[in-house]
Amino acid sequence: MTGHLYGVGLGPGDPELITLKAARLIGAADVVAYHAGVGKQSHARAIAADLLVDGVLEEELRYPVTTGTTDHPGGYAGALADFYAECADRLAAHLDAGRDVVVLAEGDPMFYGSFMYLHDRLADRYPCEVVPGVPAFAAAAAGVASPLVRQTDVLTVLPATLPEPELARRLADTDGAVIMKLGRTFPAVRRALAAAGRLEDAVYVERASTGEERVLPAADVDPAQVPYLSLLLVDGDSRNGRRSRDAVAPEPAAPVPGAAGPAPARLVVAGLGPGPDGWLTPEVTDALAEVDHVVGYAPYVDRVPQRAGLTRHASGNTVELDRARLALDLALRGERVAVVSGGDAGVFGMATAVFEAASADPAYDAVDVRVLPGVSAVQAVAARAGAPVGADFAVLSLSDRLKGWDVIERRLRAVAEADLVLAVYNPASRSRTDQVAKAAAVLMSVRESDTVVVVGRDVGRAEESLTVTTLGDLDPASIDMKCLLIVGCSTTRVTATGRVWSPRSVTS
């Protein structure tokens, strides 16, 4: 019979926070294993020291590297992978001999814990049980005695090792937050807090629940004195008047007698391009640096760098008019606002939604709407392919959310009969899985099946792909919302190197 493997959470440091179940298992274990840093004593063993019985076998799992460098050919990740494999082999030998093994884990075993990597390697081979422990942030919040979140407030747990812009973005988009794994990352974390406007909400807690616990406002912490066993709590408790993601902009202050009148209401609608920062125009960059509010579909809002004083209003994919009205209302209050779209805001983007919302209420006539162009998806895909839209072309969306399929089909047929190059936006989605096949059939009722088709997917991003095929060979199952199609005209050509172009001249 093989032994049992237990991952036992000890809490963050105070032995009195160890659960009764964890204490019982530690006292009954044949083998107790624990991790230790380079040149350091095991913090986990120190927490559980009084529970270890005489004669218990101990397995110290000492990391080969923590914050230093390594000459391992696979770098840090390779060194750690080999280390966990070796540790798993050592523990497997005990389990095969019928010994029960308890792995001590600081905090909770499944919360940023090293036990997870042993579990990955052993749980499918041996009986395994995980015993939860008090996570460090729970003990820290209890020690500070300040609620992080309540009711519908959102709590986000973030590793301090995230890139600084990403950390700032996530801090700006949540109510309460916990930032783990500080240490040498603290200077970058502090800058991210300031950029997100959350520095004053953040409390630093070091060695929570122990006799060495230290609590300070994050703004007062010396970056040179931040150990790894520390974290930040970012207060998002709405009941205490803290920041809320759904907070509305403040009403403008009452006018001062004799002062100049209020600034005219302005709203910028900006296209961010298809993805790469290099495709973002300087005009849009400058405009975004001057606004106090950014409104848009969440993935597009995420692309706007967070900075101090910027409030982000992200929403879903089917509430364009609601977004537009929010932006217009903010502008009427005197706020500096930008509505963002992917690609070009005027090509199936938010510019039309803003004008549609504004036309429904005369009060919005006071808002000066300025649209800033961006690189469109059709431009990006066409450039990657060569010059398929060098001739006359049309642009059409296959989405039938705002128009019926009969309208789409009629327009597809008209484009085909006019022998225009066709750029197809929104070709498919989770709920629209058959429209590409239907569109191809409509086009082939007029065009030849060997008409050139370019399929661009995630163009400009790391997952970019470009496929050149034909109407007859087009695979509808390979098309999703991240794709844009360019269907050539009768004269569109493909070079020997696979480049696609459409001649400008028309002979008949």
Q: What are the tokens at 391?
A: 């001739």
At residue 169 the predicted structure's pLDDT band, cuts being 50, 70 and 90, is confident
Instruction: For residues 399-411, give the mean pLDDT.
Output: 90
CA distance linking residue 12 with residue 209, whole number of Å = 7
pLDDT score, position 244: 46
217 DSSP assignment: E
11 DSSP assignment: B
Three-class DSSP category at 479: coil
Instruction: For residues 238-260, give the mean pLDDT.
Output: 51
Instruction: For residues 255-267, give the mean pLDDT.
Output: 64
Q: What is the pLDDT of residues 182-199, one digit of tens each?
A: 999 999 999 999 988 889
pLDDT score, position 252: 47
- Residue pair 447/439 in contact by the 8 Å Cβ criterion: no
Share of the chain above pLDDT 90, in %: 70
Instruction: For residues 38-67, give the mean pLDDT.
Output: 92
At residue 248 the predicted structure's pLDDT band, cuts being 50, 70 and 90, is very low
Rg of the chain taking only CA atoms, in angstroms: 30
Q: What is the pLDDT of residues 70-123, one digit of tens each?
A: 888 888 889 999 999 999 999 999 999 999 999 999 999 999 989 999 999 999
CA distance linking residue 208 with residue 44, whole number of Å = 14
pLDDT score, position 249: 42
At residue 250 the predicted structure's pLDDT band, cuts being 50, 70 and 90, is very low
At residue 260 the predicted structure's pLDDT band, cuts being 50, 70 and 90, is low
Single pTM value for the model:
0.67
pLDDT score, position 241: 56
**Helix, strand, coil distribution of the chain in percent, nearest 5:** 35, 25, 45
Q: How far is CA 123 from CA 4, 10, 32, 79, 101, in A?
A: 10, 20, 17, 22, 12
Instruction: For residues 418-433, give the mean pLDDT.
Output: 88
Q: What is the pLDDT of residues 11-24, one digit of tens each?
A: 999 999 999 999 99
Nearest CA to 58 among 87, 97, 31, 88?
31
Q: In what order do the strands lie in the sheet with 493-494?
A: 386-387, 500-501, 493-494
pLDDT at residue 463 tops 60: yes
Nearest CA to 486 among 404, 425, 442, 410?
425
Domains of the chain by start residue, with CATH: 5-134 (3.40.1010.10), 137-240 (3.30.950.10), 266-372 (3.40.1010.10), 378-501 (3.30.950.10)
pLDDT score, position 158: 96
443-449's contacts with Cβ under 8 Å and 24+ in sequence apart are: 443/412, 443/416, 443/471, 443/487, 444/471, 444/472, 445/413, 445/416, 446/413, 446/416, 446/417, 447/416, 447/471, 447/487, 447/490, 448/490
434-442's contacts with Cβ under 8 Å and 24+ in sequence apart are: 434/476, 435/398, 435/400, 435/405, 435/408, 436/398, 436/474, 436/476, 436/479, 436/485, 437/476, 438/405, 438/409, 439/398, 439/408, 439/412, 440/471, 440/474, 440/476, 442/409, 442/412, 442/413, 442/416
> Where is average pLDDT lowest: 97-101, 149-153, 393-397?
149-153
Q: What is the mean pLDDT of the chain?
A: 90
pLDDT score, position 258: 54
Q: Count the Cβ atoms, other than its own, within 10 Å of residue 366.
A: 12
Q: What are the tokens at 313?
A: 């209003």
Which is more confidently placed, 150 or 394?
394
